[in-house]
Amino acid sequence: MKLGKLKKIDLREYWKHEALDFTRWLAEPENLDDLGDEIGLDIELIQTEAGVGRFSADILAQEETTGRKIVIENQLETTDHSHLGQILTYAAGIEAEYIVWIVKDVRDEHKQAVDWLNEHTDEKLNFFLVRIELWQIGSSDPAPKFVIISRPNDWTKSVRGSVHDQSELSDTKLLQLEFWQQLRDFAAASKPPLKLRTPRAQHWYDVAIGRSDCHVTLTTLTAENQVGCEIYIPNSKELFKAFYSNKEAIEKALEIDDLSWQELPDKKASRIRAFHEFDFASQQREEAFTWLVQTSNKFKSVFSKPWPLQSQS
């Protein structure tokens, strides 16, 4: 069997102009998905060249399941102080929670600066330093590769930000994080695979379904020895009513007849939940993981499509 040789391509051979070529390429949904796969975020484009004072952020996006702002700054050159200052300006001006700096090459002092920012900010500020590369085999089309140089310490930040008394709750948080990490590995090998982002030490795990007004949330209910899968609707009673007016058809499609329909009239959010018994003292988690993956895929398939509000007469 003959093997080809990898050849690294100069970025400027393919992207002549940073804004007109690279930013436009990156803003395409499939390329933001590839970047999201590497850094662990569901990235949804808001706009390119977003104004911040007299500067413009290359890409303004949001995390699909939470609406948290993401700023992406592109630099098809070696990192410099000017761009480091710009990403801090964008973080403040847009109140972004995720800042992604994509570059050709990285100077040691700038990696140290990004690492320092990740170590000394809370969970509401997360910095990623990413190198973009182009590779070719023989005469094939160039293939892009995102290489993470610096990223947030997710475990440290999630625990530090969500646990007031770490000595009291750290064991619970560790159990939750371990459970989600194992689920993520299991889901990646499932058929079809369920794409899960970087887990955190908390009792819920959000999963995008391709729409911004609702998403799947997986939950661990340790006191009740249950795991849950739900559609979480953060701010639309109308959407909940549209789903509920199709209750019979939805439950038939999901093959679940004991869904918990919770409009929560005193709150902005609503949810539609399913539960599965699981003993958290057990280390045999495959059956729970199988249920979570299969139910998530069903929820995604059923709730990602529009359900019109039906007459209740």
Per-residue pLDDT for 37 more than 90? Answer: no
pLDDT band with cut points at 50, 70 and 90 for residue 154? low
Per-residue pLDDT for 96 more than 80? Answer: yes
Percent of the chain with pLDDT over 70: 94
pLDDT at 173: 79
As a whole number of angstroms, the distance between CA 97 and CA 157 comes to 13
Average of per-residue pLDDT across 216-240: 93
- Angle (nearest 5°) at CA 8 between 5 and 9: 125
pLDDT at 52: 84
- Stronger pLDDT, 161 or 120, i.e. the higher one: 120
Residues 55-74: pLDDT tens digits?
Answer: 889 999 998 888 889 999 99
Helix (H, G, I), strand (E, B) or coil at 129: strand
Average of per-residue pLDDT across 90-105: 92
Per-residue pLDDT for 167 more than 50? Answer: no
pLDDT at 24: 95
Tell me how far apart the terminal alpha carbons of the chain are, to the nearest angstrom.
69
Average pLDDT, the chain: 89
Average of per-residue pLDDT across 14-35: 94
Q: DSSP letter string over 92-118?
A: HHHT-SEEEEEEEE--HHHHHHHHHHH
Are β-strands 69-78 and 98-105 bridged in parallel, bridged antiparallel, or unpaired?
Answer: parallel
pLDDT at 292: 96
Going from the C-alpha of 95 to that of each of 44, 46, 130, 183, the distances in angstroms are: 17, 14, 21, 32
Per-residue pLDDT for 157 more than 60? Answer: no
Residues 172-189: pLDDT tens digits?
Answer: 778 888 899 999 999 988
**DSSP assignment letter at 212:** S
pLDDT at 282: 82
- Stronger pLDDT, 165 or 309, i.e. the higher one: 309
As a whole number of angstroms, the distance between CA 117 and CA 91 comes to 12
pLDDT band with cut points at 50, 70 and 90 for residue 114? very high
Helix (H, G, I), strand (E, B) or coil at 32: helix
pLDDT at 312: 58
| pTM beyond cutoff 0.85 | no
Per-residue pLDDT for 159 more than 90? Answer: no
Per-residue pLDDT for 79 more than 80? Answer: yes
pLDDT at 165: 44
Per-residue pLDDT for 164 more than 60? Answer: no
pLDDT at 311: 67
